[in-house]
Amino acid sequence: MSSRRRRNVIAGNWKMNMTPSAAKELITDIYAKVKGKKGCDVVVCVPYVDIPTVAQAVKGTIIKVGAQNVHFAPKGAYTGEISAEMLKECGVQYVIVGHSERRQYFGETDETVNLRAKAALEAGLTVIVCVGELLSERESGITSEVVSRQTKLALQGVSEEQLKNVIIAYEPVWAIGTGKTATNEEADEVCGIIRSVVAAKYGKQAGKQMIIQYGGSMNAKNAAGLLSMDNIDGGLIGGASLKAEDFAVIVEAAQ
């Protein structure tokens, strides 16, 4: 199936950028540039403290709000963490789990990624699960093994019904925030591998329907090429999502 039969999802990951007042300016600017572009889903994954401001600003528009992480417990003694219900009540519909920066700097493992994904899905959130190999893993020729393992473990215990609310973002770690992008073919090949992992577990149809994004220095210049590939259904975008103009060009490329 060509990616044209699946809907592109363009998600910005603002990371630890934008105070609430700066977030209000950015989202206002983004909205002015993407309004009316209904050919893809548009999501902004913002810092927790920006969620109320951004949720209010995008109410009734095509833009949806996402968070950048979620805890697996519904509540309790987990200082510094945020639950799925808390996010939902603030207007969040999407959440990223397993971003490589969480895996690299905050001890996130395949097991905790799975727990977070399941908690978010149980609460009715759509989960963007990030997978991707390190440069050393690519150079050792084990990319396929790494992303297959990460995908399988992230989806452990996720039902077929819940899978409809899962998006997988293939993010080669060496391409994140580095300005180095995977070539269209490299990105498409790994997204295809992820699709076959999903198909092996949930069936051919589920594999075909799975939304798989590419992330890693996607920008206004390279987005159209990446998004034209059969296995790529959108992008998870860091740096370029902080510039309304560039983000809007990527949204336009996904129409």
- Tell me which residues are annotated as active site: 99, 171
| Least distance in angstroms from the C-beta of 178 to ligand PEP | 7
Quick one: which of 7, 13, 11 has its CA closest to 176? Answer: 13
Identity of residue 83: S
Q: What DSSP element (H or E) covers 135?
A: helix 135-139
Quick one: which of 48, 45, 225 has its CA closest to 128? Answer: 45
Distance CA 41, CA 20 (A): 23
Q: Select 154 or 207, whichever has its Cβ closest to ligand PEP.
A: 154
Q: Select 3 or 13, whichever has its Cβ closest to ligand PEP.
A: 13
Quick one: which of 14, 169, 164 has its CA closest to 98? Answer: 169
| Least distance in angstroms from the C-beta of 183 to ligand PEP | 15
By CB under 6 A, name the binding residues for ligand PEP.
13, 15, 171, 176-177, 215-218, 236-240
Q: Select 146 or 207, whichever has its Cβ closest to ligand PEP.
A: 146
| Least distance in angstroms from the C-beta of 218 to ligand PEP | 6
| Beta carbons of 69 and 102 less than 8 angstroms apart | yes
Question: Closest residue to ligand PEP, Cβ-based?
Answer: 238
Q: Select 191 or 236, whichever has its Cβ closest to ligand PEP.
A: 236
| C-alpha distance from residue 249 to each of 14, 82, 174 (Å) | 17, 32, 24
Distance CA 103, CA 202 (A): 26
Q: Which residues contact 205 (CB under 8 A, 6 or more apart)?
A: none
| Least distance in angstroms from the C-beta of 159 to ligand PEP | 27
